Structure 1
Amino acid sequence: MGFTTTFVIAIFVMMLGTLAYQGMSRTLVDEQASINDLHEQWMKQYGRTYADDAEKERRSQIFKQNMGFVEKFNSEGNRTYKLGYNEFSDLTTQEFLTYYTGYEKPAHYSKSSGIKSFRYENFTDAPTSMDWKDKGAVTPIKNQLQCACCWAFSAVAAVEGITQIKTGKLLSLSEQQLVDCVMDNQGCRGGFMDTAFEYIQENQGISSEENYDYEAMDGTCDTMRSRNPAARITGYEDVPTNNEEALRMAVSAQPVSVAISVGEEFRMYRTGIFSGGCGQTLNHAVTLIGYGESEDGNKYWLVKNSWGETWGEYGYMKLLRESGDAEGVCGIASKASYPTLSTA
Structure 2
Amino acid sequence: MSIKYEEWMAEYEVSYKNEEEKQIRYQIFKDNVQHIERHNQEGKHTYKLGINKFADQTNEEFLAKYARGFVPSFKVLSTNHSSFEYKDMKDVPPSLDWRDHNAVTPIETQGGCGCCWAFAVVAAIEGIEAIRSGKLTQLSEQHIIDCNDEREGCNGGRMDHAYEFVTKNGGLASDIDYPYTATQGACANIKPSSLSLKITGFSCIPNNNEAALLAAVSNQPVSVNIDPKLLHFYRSGVLSGECGTSLTHIVTIVGYGVSDNGVEFWLVKNSWGPGWGEGGYARVQRNVGFKEGMCGIAMFGCYPNV
TM-score if structure 1 supplies the norm length?
0.85
Paired residues of 2:82 and 2:201 also in contact (CA < 8 A): no
Structure 2 partner of 1:311: 276
Structure 1 partner of 2:84: 118
1:283 aligns with 2:248: yes
Paired residues of 2:51 and 2:233 also in contact (CA < 8 A): yes
SS at match of 1:169: coil
Cα distance between partner residues in 1 of 2:216 and 2:239? 21
Q: Deviation per CA, 1:165-215, whole angstroms, max 9, x where unpaired? A: 111111110001111111325200000111111110101110000000000
Structure 2 partner of 1:143: 109
Matched letter for residue 92 of structure 1: T
| Paired positions, count | 303
Pair 176,169 (structure 1): closer, same or farther in 2 beyond 3 Å:
same
Moved more, 179-188 or 301-310: 179-188
Deviation at residue 122 of structure 1 after TM alignment = 1.1
1:267 aligns with 2:232: yes
Cα distance between partner residues in 2 of 1:78 and 1:106? 35
Q: CA RMSD in A?
A: 1.5
Cα distance between partner residues in 2 of 1:262 and 1:276? 13
Pair 113,321 (structure 1): closer, same or farther in 2 beyond 3 Å:
farther
Structure 1 partner of 2:47: 81
Matched letter for residue 156 of structure 2: G
Paired residues of 1:70 and 1:83 also in contact (CA < 8 A): yes
Structure 2 partner of 1:339: 304
SS at match of 1:257: strand
SS at match of 1:99: helix
Structure 1 partner of 2:182: 216
SS at match of 1:134: helix
Matched letter for residue 223 of structure 2: S
Q: Deviation per CA, 1:232-264, whole angstroms, max 9, x where unpaired? A: 31111011111101100000000000000111x
Q: Which of 244, 256, 259 matches 2:210? A: 244
Deviation at residue 78 of structure 1 after TM alignment = 1.3
Cα distance between partner residues in 2 of 1:220 and 1:105? 25
SS at match of 1:179: helix
Q: Radius of gyration: which is bigger?
A: 1
Q: Which of 152, 156, 159 matches 1:190? A: 156
Matched letter for residue 135 of structure 1: H
Moved more, 149-158 or 43-52: 43-52
1:228 aligns with 2:192: yes
Residues 165-176 of structure 1 mapped to structure 2, 5 A cutoff: 165-176=131-142
Residues 33-112 of structure 1 mapped to structure 2, 5 A cutoff: 35-105=1-71, 111-112=77-78
Matched letter for residue 193 of structure 2: P
Cα distance between partner residues in 2 of 1:126 and 1:82? 29
Deviation at residue 124 of structure 1 after TM alignment = 3.1
Structure 2 partner of 1:13: none
Deviation at residue 112 of structure 1 after TM alignment = 3.9
Higher relative CO (Cα under 8 Å, sequence separation at least 6) belongs to 2
Pair 278,217 (structure 1): closer, same or farther in 2 beyond 3 Å:
farther
Structure 1 runs not aligned, ≥5 long: 1-34
Paired residues of 2:76 and 2:160 also in contact (CA < 8 A): no
Paired residues of 2:172 and 2:192 also in contact (CA < 8 A): yes
Paired residues of 1:237 and 1:339 also in contact (CA < 8 A): yes
Paired residues of 2:81 and 2:201 also in contact (CA < 8 A): no
Paired residues of 1:62 and 1:91 also in contact (CA < 8 A): yes
1:299 aligns with 2:264: yes
SS at match of 1:199: helix
Cα distance between partner residues in 1 of 2:288 and 2:12? 35
Deviation at residue 151 of structure 1 after TM alignment = 0.1
Cα distance between partner residues in 1 of 2:192 and 2:293? 39
Deviation at residue 220 of structure 1 after TM alignment = 1.1
Cα distance between partner residues in 1 of 2:168 and 2:234? 37
Cα distance between partner residues in 2 of 1:280 and 1:49? 35
Cα distance between partner residues in 2 of 1:113 and 1:316? 33
Matched letter for residue 217 of structure 2: V
Cα distance between partner residues in 1 of 2:69 and 2:112? 14
Pair 37,230 (structure 1): closer, same or farther in 2 beyond 3 Å:
farther
